[in-house]
Amino acid sequence: MVAVTRQVLRPAQPGDICVLLAPADPEEEGRLRLCQQALQTQLGGRPASPVHLTCQRFQIADPSGLSGFVDRLAAWMTGLPPLEFAATGMEVLHLDDKFNALKWRVDLSPEYCHFLERLHDEVQAVGGRSTYPLGWASRLVTALYRIDTERLHLVGDSGFPYPLFTAKTVVISQYLKRLSYKTLETFQFAD
């Protein structure tokens, strides 16, 4: 079954800084594309690319603090193993009356929760203001945009839970406008 929800956090605004977790294994990325294609066959829409989990979104008043954030995050990440995510369900998020997104809901592992707490601390350390409240965890990974919600009954339970991806890449990006971002920095988790 697919849950239908309305957006609860404020929408992204131009200038917001986003921290994304993404797979880096080509085989895993190929498997995700096949999953998206199967969903697209049932529901229409457009696949999200690249597949990722936006785990933090924040504003920073002093742009010079951003380079400090990137440096701190890169140093911290060199010692962290990749984070594994399992899909536990799907949700349709209505961003406004004309725009929706089908999203995988992922599990909240202790490792991911610890990562989020530390990430929140790193944002605050450079004077950033998180859009996500402390203790709130981003759990949605976009599969498709602009689906036909009249056909949701075709999806069923899709065999949940199942492994979705292993986050091996961290991307720091800046939101420009809907579906438009500028990549500022990319680095890898430790192997």
Q: Residue 148, SS3?
A: coil
Task: Summarize pLDDT for 120-150 with one digit per residue, the tens.
Answer: 999 999 999 999 988 889 999 999 999 998 8
**What is the model's pLDDT at position 3?**
62
- State mean pLDDT over 60-85: 90
Higher pLDDT, residue 179 or 119: 119
% residues pLDDT > 70 (the chain): 95
- State mean pLDDT over 31-56: 94
**What is the model's pLDDT at position 77?**
86
Confidence class for position 2, pLDDT limits 50, 70, 90: low
**What is the model's pLDDT at position 40?**
95
**What is the model's pLDDT at position 161?**
92
**What is the model's pLDDT at position 45?**
94
Mean pLDDT of the chain: 89
Confidence class for position 5, pLDDT limits 50, 70, 90: low
pTM: 0.91
64-77 vs 110-125: helix axis angle to the nearest 10? 150
Over the range 125-135, which residues count as b (16 or more CB within 10 Å of their CB) and which as e? Answer: ebbbebbbeee
Q: How far apart are CA 140 and CA 129, in angstroms?
A: 21
Q: How far apart are CA 87 and CA 85, in angstroms?
A: 7
Task: Summarize pLDDT for 74-103 with one digit per residue, the tens.
Answer: 888 888 999 999 999 999 988 777 789 999
Task: Summarize pLDDT for 147-176 with one digit per residue, the tens.
Answer: 998 888 888 767 889 999 999 999 999 999
CATH no. of 2-9+28-188: 3.90.1140.10
Burial of 25 (0-12, 13-18, 19+ CB in 10 A): middle
